[in-house]
Homo-oligomer: A and B are copies of this chain.
Amino acid sequence: MQRIGILTSGGDSPGMNAAIRAVVRKAIYHGLEVIGIKRGFNGFIEGDMEPMRLGSVADIIHRGGTILHTARSEQFKTPAGRAKAWENVERFGLEGLVVIGGDGSFTGASIFHREYGLPVVGIPGTIDNDISGTDYSIGFDTAVNTAVDAINKIRDTATSHERTFIVEVMGRDTGFIAVAAGLAGGAESILIPEHPFSIEEVCHKLCKGYRRGKLHSIIVVAEGAGSGLEIGKQIKERTGFDTKVTILGHLQRGGTPTAFDRILASQLGARAVELLMQGATSKMVGMSAGKIVETNLDLVLGQKKTVDLDVYRLASILAI
């Protein structure tokens, strides 16, 4: 093996740069060449690719975003698009590909591998943490800390008033960010798609809290569980409480990655290179039970990962 490609795809997440750095430096350390592919599969199709050197990844470990840029590619979903990408594989002499992204990106990589045989290794990079085969995806820890930081700030003002605060966090169809941020932030309620809830119940809990002397309540809402603004409106209608809503949105995707995300990204990136060198054909690297592990890409794509409801319940017990 002499030359590998690397791209970031789908929604970006903090720590992707640390993963790129690890792949590039680990590969160069072992004598490989690395071709950086810009804007995800789009750049792969268009041949927007160039060699990366040690210096290409200097001083990026602490930067949010991805220096390779990212995009969602409609064209790569078509055989014609993938055929063009294959031309670039041949043109640049790639013998392996590292794809940093989420489910959608891995699906594309997996199909491409099946069609053309190029060895691919996926690195899970998404703040949503909704990828099987790894306990943590790169960016999740940073996103949770960003959400918790927001809850902290709201808590400051909450203790000065008598109000209900709603914080809408990301997570697509899952409640990973909501549960972790809600537990760590000491939120009174956490609304997630994995656990049914009714507004009546939420209001009942709020009223009980106020009767017991709670001066304020913070409710974390996963975007997959409903709109923060809509839920706020309903609570106000039913309880009359002054309800204030914060929608974090894409700021959860940015920021300097935490130490955890950088270390995870460094380990996964290095392991991805080792796997390609050892002849892996279609794998994802991940962290499971504290260890760096690999899983077949198809297995990753076939499974749905859901929130640990024990942790969800713990958050509820500790917020009494």
A contacts, CB < 8 Å to B: 8, 12, 14, 18, 21-22, 25-26, 28-29, 54-55, 59, 61-66, 69-71, 135, 141, 144-146, 148-150, 152-162, 165, 180-181, 183-186, 213, 215, 229, 244-256, 258-260, 262-263, 266-267, 270, 288-291, 311, 314-315, 317-320
Chain B residues whose C-beta falls within 8 Å of the C-beta of A183 in the assembled complex:
262-263, 266
Complex contacts, A8 vs chain B, CB 8 Å = 160
Select from chain B the residue with minimum beta-carbon distance to A143.
B259
Q: Are A154 and B250 within 8 A (Cβ)?
A: yes
Whether the Cβ atoms of A22 and B318 lie closer than 8 Å is yes
Complex Cα gap A290–B264 (Å): 14
Task: Looking at the assembled complex, report how far the CB atom of A112 sits from the nearest CB atom of chain B, in whole angstroms.
Answer: 22
Q: How far is the CA of A252 from the CA of B246 in the complex (A)?
A: 10
* A270, B18: Cα distance in complex, Å: 34
Copy total for this chain: 4
In the complex, which of the residues B150, B229, B258 contacts A229, with contact meaning CB atoms closer than 8 Å?
B229
In the assembled complex, the Cα of A32 lies from the Cα of B311 at a distance in Å of: 21
Q: Are B157 and A250 in contact (CB under 8 A)?
A: yes
The 5 lowest CB-CB distance pairs between A and B, nearest first, are: A64-B156, A153-B254, A156-B254, A246-B249, A157-B253
Given contacts A180-B259, A263-B183, contact A156 B63 (CB under 8 A): yes
**Known A262-B148, A263-B183; contact A64-B153, beta-carbon cutoff 8 A:** yes
A119 to B252 Cα, complex, angstroms? 44
